[in-house]
Amino acid sequence: EDTYVIEVSPTGLARIPLALPTVTTDSSLSESFVEEFRQTLMEDFSFTGILHIIPRQAYLADPEKKDVDYEDWLFIGAEYLIRVHLSSTGDNLRAQVAIYDIALRRKQSSQTLQLPFDSYVLLAHQVAGHILYEVSGIEGFFDAQIAYTSDYGSQAGGAIKNIYTMDFDGSQRRNITRNDSININPFWHDNDKIAFTSYIRQRPEILLRELDTGRTALLAAFGGTNTGGVKSPDGKYIAVTASRNGISNIYLLHSDGRMYRQLTHHWSIDVTPAWSPDGRYIAFVSDRPGSPQIYKIELATDQITRITYDGRYNVSPAWSPDGSEIAYVSLEDNKFNIYIVQNDGYNPRRLTYNSGHNETPRWSRDGNYLLFNSNRSGEHKLYIMDRSGAFQKRLNDGPGNNTMPDWIFPKSQ
């Protein structure tokens, strides 16, 4: 395990100071349980880069007093006061969250979130997401599920790779493939289905694993090399890359795997399909200009337009949730870095600098954060960064080289 963590904290990024006093409870819950709940909130907030929790020692106001002493909180520089009250009712855990806007001297919101008691960690993540949204307008991502590829368990330089899933906070880590083959490139299809490329049948084919039943179906096995397996936003189609006689093209399958139609018809490499959120476009990588560049194809007209012109090697496109931008990876002096470009190809912006290779960007659901993998600490590990790239932090992912992450968020309640 590497020994240090580099946390690039934002310079000049305005951080929102919050006061988060001790979580209160009635007699139904123990002190340590309540303190652990607060600790989970603090841990989640540490992955945003924009929230600053004022240390409790600085708090002047009397925590027992019901009404809020705005002067006291203003004095220590808090912009918001967050009061969380936990209670267990029957077999449920309930969190009442009150948020006070100190400058405006008023209660901004109060909300009750409740889950079965044994999902208390998930409840903490949802409370943290609620607070983040209330004070910043940014949607929480702490309850996300992450799928990724790891070579953990394969001896050094060995080729064995398996697909793992974990919760955002690094808990519930499970390998969902356990074979001595190469399993890479996972894509979430639903909260319980993952498509991935596997060599289990001695050729790279796309399998679809149902997490709860453990069943694995063959999604694309068109001879040659099959990669991708990305579901369209409306769920009707799946975009894959298949090759014949060394020529890779992008195809659309029906959701059950039957061939629907061929999208690209070029002798070059066309690979890595990525849907636009409205389902009207697919971004992809093509080396038709002599080096890999990002293109997009409009499905209704088959019109293909090139997006990236800077740099000799641009791969791994990913549309932002509002469709306005595409994140991708560009190679410069043997190092990969993550960029964001407008969907018409104008003003590419670089996000990562001198931190090893940075690959496979994946947007959060409101486009304010990106999940990616980087080998800045030696082995490849999973990281999160905000869309400016100013804030980057490593997740609590497991041992081994962890790459090709994809994340999915619970269906909003």
Partner 1 sequence: CGPQQVAVDEPMVDEPAVSAEEERERDRYADDPYADDPYADDPYTVEDRERYAFNSPVLNRIYLDGSQMYTVHFDFDRSSIRSDARKILDNNVTFMERNPEVKIVIEGHCDERGSSDYNLALGDRRAQSVKDYLVTNGIDASRITTISYGKEKPADPRSNESAWQKNRRGEFVKKQ
Q: Is 227 in the site for partner 1 (CB under 8 A)?
A: yes
Q: Is 329 in the site for partner 1 (CB under 8 A)?
A: yes
Is the CB of 32 or the CB of 245 nearer to partner 1? Answer: 245
Q: Is 184 in the site for partner 1 (CB under 8 A)?
A: yes
Q: Which strands sit side by side in the sheet containing 358-363, from one edge to the other? A: 358-363, 369-377, 379-386, 392-394
Write out the two tokens for 62. Answer: 């009397």
- Gap between the Cα atoms of 118 and 135, Å rounded: 28
Interface pattern 338-377 for partner 1 (x via CB under 8 A): -------------------x-xx-----------------
Contact pick of 11, 171, 202, 301 for partner 1 (by CB under 8 A): 202
Residue 47's closest CA among 407, 380, 371, 375? 371
Report 18-77 residues binding partner 1 (CB under 8 A).
Answer: none
Q: Is 217 in the site for partner 1 (CB under 8 A)?
A: yes
Q: Is 259 in the site for partner 1 (CB under 8 A)?
A: no
> CB 126 → partner 1: shortest distance, Å?
32
Interface pattern 88-127 for partner 1 (x via CB under 8 A): ----------------------------------------
> CB 148 → partner 1: shortest distance, Å?
12
* CB neighbourhood size of 98 (10 A): 15
Q: Is 201 in the site for partner 1 (CB under 8 A)?
A: yes
Contact pick of 117, 133, 199, 222 for partner 1 (by CB under 8 A): 199
Q: Which long-range contacts (CB under 8 A, 24 or more apart) does 237-245 make?
A: 238/195, 239/263, 239/273, 239/275, 239/282, 240/206, 240/273, 241/270, 241/271, 241/272, 241/273
Q: Which stretch binds partner 1 (CB under 8 A): 22-30, 123-131, 137-145, 214-222?
A: 214-222
Q: Is 241 in the site for partner 1 (CB under 8 A)?
A: yes
Contact pick of 186, 228, 345, 348 for partner 1 (by CB under 8 A): 228
For residues 282 and 263, the answer to whether their CB atoms sit within 8 Å is: yes
CA 350 → CA 144, 164, 166, 356, 367, distances in Å? 26, 29, 29, 14, 16
Report 275-314 residues binding partner 1 (CB under 8 A).
Answer: 285, 287, 291-292, 313
**Phi and psi of 19, rounded to 5°?**
-105, 125
| Number of residues that make up the chain | 413
As a dihedral over the C-alpha atoms of residue 163, residue 361, residue 189, residue 165, rounded to 10 degrees, the angle is: 30
> CB 398 → partner 1: shortest distance, Å?
19
For residues 149 and 163, the answer to whether their CB atoms sit within 8 Å is: yes
Is the CB of 90 or the CB of 157 nearer to partner 1? Answer: 157
Contact pick of 30, 39, 179, 324 for partner 1 (by CB under 8 A): 179
- Gap between the Cα atoms of 282 and 263, Å rounded: 10
For residues 152 and 399, the answer to whether their CB atoms sit within 8 Å is: yes
CA 170 → CA 59, 108, 129, 174, distances in Å? 31, 32, 17, 10
Residues 6 or more apart in contact with residue 324 via CB below 8 angstroms: 342, 343
Residue 294's closest CA among 343, 362, 256? 343
> CB 204 → partner 1: shortest distance, Å?
6
Q: Is 269 in the site for partner 1 (CB under 8 A)?
A: yes
Q: How many residues bind partner 1 (CB under 8 A)?
A: 60
> CB 324 → partner 1: shortest distance, Å?
23
Q: Is 161 in the site for partner 1 (CB under 8 A)?
A: yes
- Gap between the Cα atoms of 108 and 162, Å rounded: 46
Is the CB of 225 or the CB of 388 nearer to partner 1? Answer: 225
Contact pick of 189, 209, 296, 362 for partner 1 (by CB under 8 A): 209
DSSP code per residue over 218-252? EEE--SS--EEEEEPTTSSEEEEEEEETTEEEEEE
Distance, CA of 413 to chain centre: 19
Q: Is 262 in the site for partner 1 (CB under 8 A)?
A: no
Contact pick of 20, 182, 326, 327 for partner 1 (by CB under 8 A): 182
> CB 209 → partner 1: shortest distance, Å?
7
- Gap between the Cα atoms of 49 and 14, Å rounded: 9
Binding site for partner 1 (CB under 8 A): 156-157, 159, 161, 177-182, 184-185, 197-204, 207-209, 214-219, 224-225, 227-228, 241, 243, 245-248, 256-257, 269, 271-272, 285, 287, 291-292, 313, 315-316, 329, 331, 334, 336, 357, 359-360, 403-404
